[in-house]
Amino acid sequence: MPTRLCIENLKDLPDDVSVPAYDRAQLSAGILHFGVGNFHRAHQAVYLDALFNKGLGRDWALVGAGVMPGDAKARDVLAAQDYLTTVVEQEAGASTARVTGPMIDFVEPGDAQAIIARLADPEIRIASLTITEGGYFIDPATDKFDPGHPQIVADAASPDTPKTVFGILVAGLSARRAAGQEPFTIMSCDNIPHNGVVARNTVVGLARLVDPELADWISANVAFPNGMVDRITPATSDRERSILEQDFGVQDGWPVFCENFTQWVLEDNFTCGRPPLEEVGVQFVPDVSPYELMKIRILNGGHAIIAYPAGLMDIHFVHEAMEHPLIRAFLEKVEREEVIPSVPPVPDTDLGEYYQLIETRFANPKIGDTVRRLCLDGSNRQPKFIVPTITDRLAAGGSVDGLALESALWCRYCFGTTDSGAQIAPNDPSWDRLKTVAQAAKDNPAEWLAMEDIYGDTGRNPNFVDAFTKALNALWKDGTAAVLTRYLDAG
């Protein structure tokens, strides 16, 4: 009979399940985190748990916060187990389980006033975010803050009753300023190039709509460190809950399964202190740009390269995609010929070796990451992970045949059926729009590249247009496997 996860039962867990070595009653809050999902609990929370286990930084415990409908269920599940999480790290030959406990509270989701009050408390010195690539109110056409977004307009009109994360952050900073208190740092942990700059632009942009003097104060006093985060963390399903119960004897309503690998590179730029995370493996650097560009192009771009052919070929798991000889060879060829040459040098890093590590991580059979998860949200991911590489390749006079084929595979996927004719369930916030454009592009491929918010000027480049058109027409005529074979045979 598995043991239910809670503080009272920690002593009863099996010996092979690690538990916190610290007294959670001795922790005090220091970080309020928006977006308590799987990645946060497998990444930032794990680093903090390791820090607390070493007897360090115990005044930097986490408080959860959220504004999305799903956050209420997340809080209920975690509260029922005293905010503990079982993290299962999986490699091909071994799995380990540890219970982490750095979260000590979770503000009622959607209660903006309660979250603002917590942000106004001087004990909160960092507000951190994992709100996905699409959560920053960026106009894809300009890659800048969108002051006309309806949710931003609404928060600017009613700053005392905000609905968005950024409206709440601005209100919390306003309260700190009014009380003469030092502001908290805002630390993005999302997969976005220059995520600190992006977060700063959104916070300051919204503040300027509310109170220009407040915006100036934020600009002058609040730190927004850029960071690169990395750990493959699939969604939790009954499969993971069952494995945890059967293999480790733990009953956890929301465990996290992830790979053993983890990385966090962070600029040392904080307004009022930070936990000593360098003691548990975080790399503090003057400029995170080389690391984030490497990761976004090689890893995140690599995910997109394998996702859409696998989706069209009805492959369910990512490791199964890597077992398919055409998909694995497609990934390697595009990475080595087009992606890696577009990545500038990274300190103390061999890009070829980094790619080999990525390939091994993608092929991990224990993770259970799904192709559908990788296909999700292309409308936000493609402009960040794929299109900039295409743009740089074209500017350098290089071939983009592989990346054009990746773009065509995404278009074909958004048509809404696989090569076998199976229906693809909506898998993007803009699915209806993408599906309509993809259907029009079947007869006129230029329709797809005309999406300014995705491709911009790159969608009008003759070399890219030609390569994309040929690839999409071939996919419709011959199917994914045949087109991949021809691409690979072309040398």
Give, as one character, the DSSP assignment of residue 139: E
State which amino acid sits at residue 28. Answer: S
> In degrees rounded to 5, what are phi and psi of residue 236?
-90, 135
Q: What is the mean pLDDT of residues 433-457?
A: 97
Burial class (CB in 10 A: 0-12, 13-18, 19+), 157: exposed
Contact 359, 261 (CB under 8 A): no
Q: Please report the pLDDT score of residue 191 as a whole number.
A: 87
pLDDT of residue 133: 82
Q: Given this model, what pLDDT does residue 153 score?
A: 97
Is the pLDDT score of 372 beyond 70? yes
What's the distance, Cα to Cα, between the start and end of the chain in Å? 56
> Domain residues of the chain, as ranges?
3-285, 289-489
Q: Strands of 246-287 (E only): list them.
A: 250-251, 256-259, 263-267, 283-285
CATH number of 289-489: 1.10.1040.10
| pLDDT at res. 368 | 85
Element (H, E) at 392: helix 387-395
Confidence of residue 232 (pLDDT cuts 50, 70, 90): very high
Quote the tokens at residue 382: 């493609």
- Strand-strand pairing, 85-91 and 94-100: antiparallel
312-362 confidence digits (pLDDT tens)? 999 999 999 999 999 999 999 999 999 999 999 999 899 999 999 999 999
What's the pTM value of the predicted model, to 2 decimals? 0.88
- Reply yes or no on whether the pLDDT at 255 is more than 70: yes
Please name the residues in contact with 111: beta carbons below 8 A apart, sequence gap of 6 or more: none
Q: Is the pLDDT of residue 373 over 70?
A: yes
Nearest residue to 181 (alpha-carbon basis) of 113, 223, 119: 119
Condensed to tens digits (0 to 9), the pLDDT of residues 272-314 reads: 999 999 999 999 999 999 999 999 999 999 999 999 999 999 9
If one counts every other C-beta atom within 10 angstroms of the C-beta of residue 348, the result is: 6
pLDDT exceeds cutoff 90 at 70: no
The per-residue pLDDT of the chain, averaged, comes to 96
129: left (phi over 0), alpha (psi -120 to 50) or beta: beta
For a pLDDT cut of 90, what percent of the chain falls above it?
93
Q: Is the pLDDT of residue 62 over 90?
A: yes
pLDDT of 142: 76
Q: What is the three-class DSSP state of 86?
A: strand
| pLDDT over 70 (residue 37) | yes
Mean pLDDT over 92-98 rounds to 92
Count of Cβ atoms closer than 10 Å to residue 477 Cβ = 9
Token reading at 87: 């993290």
- Superfamily of domain 3-285 in CATH is NAD(P)-binding Rossmann-like Domain (3.40.50.720)
Whether residue 140 is predicted with pLDDT greater than 80 in this model: the reply is no
pLDDT for position 141? 66
Neighbours of 75 (CB within 10 A): 21
Task: Please state the rounded mean pLDDT for residues 457-468.
Answer: 97
Q: With contact defined as beta carbons under 8 Å apart, do 376 and 428 qualify?
A: yes
Joined together, the tokens standing for residue 378 give 């292309």
Q: Which residues contact 457 (CB under 8 A, 6 or more apart)?
A: none
| Residue 160 neighbours by CB distance under 10 Å | 11
